[in-house]
Structure 1
C-alpha cells in the first residue's frame, strides 16, 4: 500500500502565512519524489487556498480537528503545521498513522514521530525533536544569491510577513520616513497577501509598495537594511547577509531564538511597546556605521542556512520509510 502525505496547516491574519509557505516547500519536494500529497486547512483560513493557487496547487477546507475523514484514515503520514497540538489529537492520528509536527511546543509534540522547531531553543534533549536554525527551510530562490554591503545606504526594506497583524509597517515608516527623505534613501515596502492596512500608509507619498513579488531573494539583496518580524523572514535575510532590525508581533515571536544579536539582528521587541525614537535611533546607527553593517553581514553568513531544507527532508523521509 502506498503512503499518502497529508498536510494539516493554519494560515490567517493573526497567525501569518509562514506555515502555508513551509507546507508548499515540502509538498513540492515530496511530490517530486512520487508521493501523493493533500493539504487541508480549517474553515476561516481561506488565505491558505489563495496562496496555494498562486503556486498552482490545491488545498481543501476541512475541520480536521473533528473530521471523520481524518479519524478513519490509516497508513498515512500527517505533517502538522498548526502550532501547539494536544496530546489527544496527536494520539488519535498515531493510532494508524505517523505524525510529523512543525513549531509545536504543545503536549502533543511528545507523541509525534518527528518534531522540527527551527524557531525555538531546545530546553531539554528529546528523542526525535530537532531545534534551531539548522532545520530551517529556504525557497530555491535563495540558493545562489548574496548581498554585498555598500558604504552608502540607498535602500531600506520593510517587510513584516504575509499579514503584519500589528501593522508594524506603519510604525517603522512613520519613524524613519523624514530621515530617509532627507538622506535620499528609498523606502521599499513588501506586503503579503493578508496585509489589511494599505490605507494607513497614504500619508507617505514617497514610499514604494509591492505585494506578492515573484523573487523575494532578489528584492532583499537590492536593499541595504531591512526591518522585519521574527518569523521565517529573518532566516531569509540572514542567508544572504542583509543587516536587519527586528520588531516582533507577539510574545511567541519573542521566544524565537535566532532573532538576536548573537546571529546579527537588532531586536527591538514587541511593536506595541516600541517608541518611534528608538526605531529611528537604531536605524540611524546602522545607516551611519559601514563597519558595523559589514560585521553584522559576516555574522549572518557564518550560519549555513541553505542546507536546512535538505536536513529536514532527510528526517521526513526517514519517518516515512520506517516500518
Structure 2
C-alpha cells in the first residue's frame, strides 16, 4: 500500500486553441507541467492550427502529442492508465468528455464554459462571473486559478524601486486578437488629451488589424510609439505608469505586478468576467465598442491627478498575492492526482 502511495501519478494535459481566450491557456499548461513534472509523470496533448503555441512549447522544451479529434485522443489515452486529466483552452462538449471519461478517474478543466463541464470532476475558474454563489458544485473560482510565469515575477521585483518617469507613461495593450480593434479606438481618444504624455501601444502576434493605421496616427504625436513584439505587453510593463487593456487574462498579469489599470471588455464573454473590478484595484469601463471619449479620458485623468488613487489600486492588486498562485495550483493538482480530495466539498 505504501509503495502505491509513493508512486508517481500519471497526469495528462490537454490544451486546445480558443481564439477568444488567446494564447494564455497554452502558457498555463506549460507552467503547470513544469511545476508537476518533477514529482509526477506528465504528458501534454495539444490541438491547434496556429504555429504560435507550437513555438511556445518548443521554447519550453516540451514535445506535445498533437491530435485532430477526440476519437483519436481517446484511442491514445486508452492504455495510459491516467490518474488525472487537466484540460485548458477551448470550451468542451459532453460527447468529447464522454469519450475520454472512461480512461481517467479524475478530470479537471480550467475556465470551461461549455456543456462538457457538467461531466467533469472540477472546473477551476479564473474567468469567473459576478454570480459566484450560483456556480455548480464542481466549480472552484478565484484569482489563484491564474498561473504566474517567472517573467512576471521578475517584472514585479524590478518595479519595487522603479524610478519616476519623466512623463506619465500609458501602455495600451488589448491582447487575444483585439477583435473590436479597441487599440485603435483607445489610441485615438488618448491623442485628444492636451497634456504631456508618453503612450506606448503594445502589438503582439495575435493582433488582427492593420498596424499601418496606428502608425499614421502616431506620426502626428510626440512621445507616442508602437511596440510590435510577440510579448509586447511584458516588455512594457516594467516602465508603465498606467495600463489600458482587455478583461480576459491580461488583468491578472497587471495585478501580479501591481500597476494602475483601466479595463475594457472586447466582447460579451469578457464583459461577464468579474475579476477586473474596483474591488481588485481596476477601473472598469464596460464594453469597449460603446466606449465614450470622455469616459476613457476621465479615467486616465483620475489616475494621473490623484496619487492616492494610484496607490490604492496597486495596494488592492498586490493584496491578492497572485505571485504565490503557483504553489496553490501545484498543491491542488497534486492532491487531485493522488485522490486526496473529496471534490464535491473542496
TM interval, shorter chain, is: 0.7 to 0.9
- Return the match for 1:113 from 103, 117, 121: 121
Q: Distance in 1 between matches of 2:232 and 2:169?
A: 19
Deviations along 1:250-280, one digit per CA (max 9) or x if unpaired, are: 1111111111111111111222222333222
Paired residues in the alignment total: 319
User: Cα 1:215–1:208, aligned 2, differ >3 Å: closer, same or farther?
Assistant: closer
Residues in 2 aligned to 1:268 and 1:12: alpha-carbon distance in whole angstroms? 25
- Which of 144, 149, 157 matches 1:139? 149
RMSD: 2.8
Q: Tell me, what secondary structure is at the counterpart of 1:32?
A: coil
Aligned mate of 1:49, from 44, 54, 77: 54
Higher helix proportion (structure 1 or 2): 2
SS in 1 for 2:43: strand
Q: Is contact 1:228-1:234 (8 Å) kept?
A: yes
Is 2:258 the counterpart of 1:241? yes
1:41–1:59 CA contact under 8 A, matched in 2: no
| Alignment partner, residue 285 of structure 2 | 268
Give the stretch that moved more between structures: 13-22 or 148-157.
148-157
Contact 1:9 1:82 in 2 (8 A): yes
Equivalent in the alignment of 2:75:
69
- Is 1:39 matched up with 2:39? no
Residue 154 of structure 1 corresponds to 168
**SS of match in other structure, 1:201:** helix
- Find the residue that maps to 2:172 and give its secondary structure: strand
**1:200 corresponds to which residue?**
213
Question: In structure 2, what is the Cα distance between the partners aligned to 1:253 and 1:153?
Answer: 31
Give 3-state SS (helix, strand or coil) of 2:240's partner.
coil
Q: TM-score, normalised by structure 2?
A: 0.82
* Equivalent-residue separation in structure 1 for 2:138 and 2:315 (angstroms): 32
Instruction: Name 1:58's counterpart in structure 2.
Output: 63
Gaps of 5+ in 2: 1-6, 341-346
Does 1:19 find its partner at 2:25? Answer: yes
The separation in 2 between residues aligned to 1:90 and 1:279, in whole angstroms, is 43
Match of 2:4 in 1: none
1:178, distance to aligned residue in structure 2 (A): 4.0
Unaligned runs of at least 5 residues, structure 1: none
Between structure 1 and structure 2, the one with the greater Rg is 2
Name the residue aligned to 1:92. Answer: 99
The corresponding residue for 2:198 is 186
Q: Residue deviations 1:170-211, cap 9 Å, x none?
A: 1111110243xx533221222222223222312113314131
52-61 vs 288-297, greater mean Cα deviation: 52-61
CA contact (8 A) 2:246 2:263 kept: yes
Secondary structure of the 2:46 match is strand
| Alpha-carbon distance in structure 2 between the residues aligned to 1:281 and 1:7 | 44
How far off its partner does 1:214 sit?
A: 8.6
